[in-house]
Amino acid sequence: MKVVELAGIGPGPFAATILADLGADVIRIDRPGPQLLGGGPEDLLTRNRERVEVDLKSRSGVELALQLIEEADILLEGMRPGVTERLGLGPDTCLARNPRLVYGRMTGWGQTGPLAHAAGHDLTYIAITGVLHGLGQTADRPQFPINLLGDFGGGSTFLVIGVLSALLSARMTGQGQVVDAAIVDGTSYLDLMTAGLRASGRHSQPRGKNMLDGGVPYYRLYRTLDDRWVAVGALEPQFFRTLVDQLGLADVIPAQDETERHGEMASIFEATFATRTMADWAAHFEGTDACVAPVLTPAEAARHAHLSARDTYIVIDDVTQPAPAPRFSGTPTAMPTATRKSSADQVLARWTANSLRP
């Protein structure tokens, strides 16, 4: 699968990285000169692909890009609506040259709507969807998880799902199409389960007072003796019983469904977890069904026995980084490489020589 990526930052490049890690032949078209993130081994959002420099403000540069697009299965771009059209690389132009092309567009607000041409970032996108309102465990203000939820959860993930779905359609019908992946749409979609809980009245309390946002004492974080944290997620009755038994609290803890005594239960848990270090609790609960885990730093996570056994983190050019996901039994993914600089002419020669198009 051949992918042309028009260089951008954040969710667009991550979508291209996912495709590259899964085996696609991705070519990133960069503007000439120094790159924003350097393009070296630490620039993980551009790993596993070739980078070519093309001046898209020149007629010859646009024509060279179109020749690559003519050979591609997928084009990814993350510019504001109308920008690629002004460059001469809009959907109509590209699909005229390559009718089977899947044209993936990554934006925050989408291609249409009153805010389509406005600037924005992850924080503003998740704010307007209503999702940010419910994030966090304190009533005084929402809390946001850096830019994982909007850019990469609601953005990159759905762009990849969209272009792969459209690629299946193109291979069945011979007709490509435009995929409009908006972070506001994807983030709203990620909230589907919570929307159902709200509709049923099971997620209706203020922030931090519901089952999955820290509102129950058996699904929250607890501070340990060494001022670290453990995560407790013993929602199901059998897991709750295991938690209580492992803590030696069966004779003193209130029943799980005694909601009026949840404050008392939380106080008991707080006092108990404060008596030992995080590492002690991690060892104590390892392999049990109590659903307790240490809150690790990224460096600690890379060394954790379970993640190490699965090679969840890998080291490339002395840079520790997440491995590709998911796993495949018949077509395992190859070890990623750092981005490689090439020339558009070299890529074009290789692509046309290996073209499967009629």
Residue 133 appears among annotated catalytic residues: no
Give the C-alpha distances (Å, rounded to integers) separating 304 from 43, 120, 318.
24, 37, 18
d(CA 235, CA 290): 9
Q: Which among 43, 121, 180, 280 is annotated as catalytic? A: 121
Residue 306 appears among annotated catalytic residues: no
Q: Report the DSSP pairing between strands 74-77 and 102-107.
A: parallel
Six-digit token string for 230? 């453990």
Nearest to 22, CA basis, from 43, 42, 41, 3: 3
Nearest to 186, CA basis, from 149, 211, 215, 222: 149
d(CA 320, CA 47): 13
**Quick one: how far is CA 262 from the chain centroid?**
34
Torsion angles phi and psi, residue 309, rounded to 5: -65, -30
Reported for 206-213, long-range contacts at CB under 8 A and 24+ positions apart, including other chains, are 206/139, 207/133, 207/134, 207/135, 207/136, 207/137, 207/138, 207/139, 207/142, 208/136, 208/137, 208/138, 208/139, 209/139, 211/235, 213/134, 213/135, 213/136, 213/137
d(CA 194, CA 204): 10
Q: Which among 73, 151, 185, 213 is annotated as catalytic? A: 151
346 three-state secondary structure:
helix
Catalytic residues: 121, 151
